[in-house]
Amino acid sequence: MIATQLKNIQHRIHLAEIAHHRAANSVNLLAVSKTKPASAIASAYQAGQRHFGENYVQEALVKQQSLSAFDITWHFIGPIQSNKTKLLATKFDWVHSVDDLKIAQRLSAQRPAALPPLNICIQVNISNEANKSGIKLEDLPHLISMISLLPNILLRGVMVIPKPSTDFSAQCKPYQKLVAAVNTLNNPLLSEFSFGMSDDLDAAIAEGSTWVRIGSALFGSRH
C-alpha cells in the first residue's frame, strides 16, 4: 500500500518536472510521517524512501529509536520551542522551520561537534497570516545575514506553508512571490525551496520547489 503510493508520488513528481521544465531529479521527496507509526516509515524505507519529516520532537524521538538501524535522514518541520533545540540539534539532520535568530543561535551552539553542520531553512510567513509561524518576507535579508555567521548550522534555503487554495494559479502565487524575492537576494546559500504538500504538489514543482513535503498522499489521511 505505502510502496504503491510512494511509486505514484514519485511518478507525479517526475511528470511535473517534465511538464514544468524542471531538471530531472531536481525535486526531492520529503515523506512527512507525523502521527504515523514507525512501521509506516519502515515500509516507505523498504520501498526506497530515505528522507522523513516529523513535526513533534517527542514523537519523532520514539520512532528514531525504534528505527536506529535504518539509514534515515531526519528533517524537522514543526514549530520550534526553545526548550527543544538541544534535541533538534542532536537528533536531526535538517530543520526547515527556523524563524527566529535566538532559536538559530541555540541550534548552532548545541550542535554536537562530531556531527556535520545542521542544515536549516528559514520559514517565511508568505501569506502574512496572523498567529502563523514564519518571518515576514521583508525581514528575510536581515535574518539571513545573522544566521550566516553561525558556525554549526548551514543555511540551505527557505520554507513556506501558504494558505491553502484549490485552484492551480492561486496555489502558484505565493510560491512565485517567495521565489522572486529570494532570487533578488542573489545569495548562493539559498538553493533549497521547501514547499508543496499533498494538495499542491504540481503548483509547487511548477514554481521551483526542491523539497515537496508529502504526508497524507503517501501515508493516508491523519485522524
C-alpha–C-alpha distance, residues 149 and 39, integer Å: 40
Determine the residue with CB nearest ligand PLP. 215
Q: Which of 34, 84, 132, 173 binds ligand PLP (CB under 6 A)?
A: 34
Q: Does 9 help bind ligand PLP (rule: CB under 6 A)?
A: no
Q: Which of 134, 174, 208, 215 binds ligand PLP (CB under 6 A)?
A: 215
Decide if 64 contacts 73 (C-beta within 8 A).
no
Q: Does 162 help bind ligand PLP (rule: CB under 6 A)?
A: no
Least distance to ligand PLP, CB of residue 131, Å = 15
DSSP 27: S
Within 8 A by CB and 6+ apart from 193, the residues are 157, 158, 159, 175, 178, 179, 182, 208, 209, 210, 211
Q: Does 133 help bind ligand PLP (rule: CB under 6 A)?
A: no
Within 8 A by CB and 6+ apart from 191, the residues are 156, 157, 210
User: SS3 helix, strand, coil % of the chain, rounded to 5?
Assistant: 45, 20, 40
> Which of 15/115 has CB closer to ligand PLP?
15
Q: Which of 121, 155, 205, 214 binds ligand PLP (CB under 6 A)?
A: 214
Q: Does 198 help bind ligand PLP (rule: CB under 6 A)?
A: yes
Q: Does 51 help bind ligand PLP (rule: CB under 6 A)?
A: no
DSSP 135: B
| Footprint (CB under 6 A) of ligand PLP, residues 73-112 | 77
Please give the helix or strand (H or E) that residue 12 lies within, else none.
Answer: helix 2-19
Within 8 A by CB and 6+ apart from 186, the residues are none
Least distance to ligand PLP, CB of residue 34, Å = 6
Q: Which of 41, 120, 197, 204 binds ligand PLP (CB under 6 A)?
A: 197
Q: By CB under 6 A, name the binding residues for ligand PLP.
A: 32, 34, 55, 77, 161, 197-199, 213-217
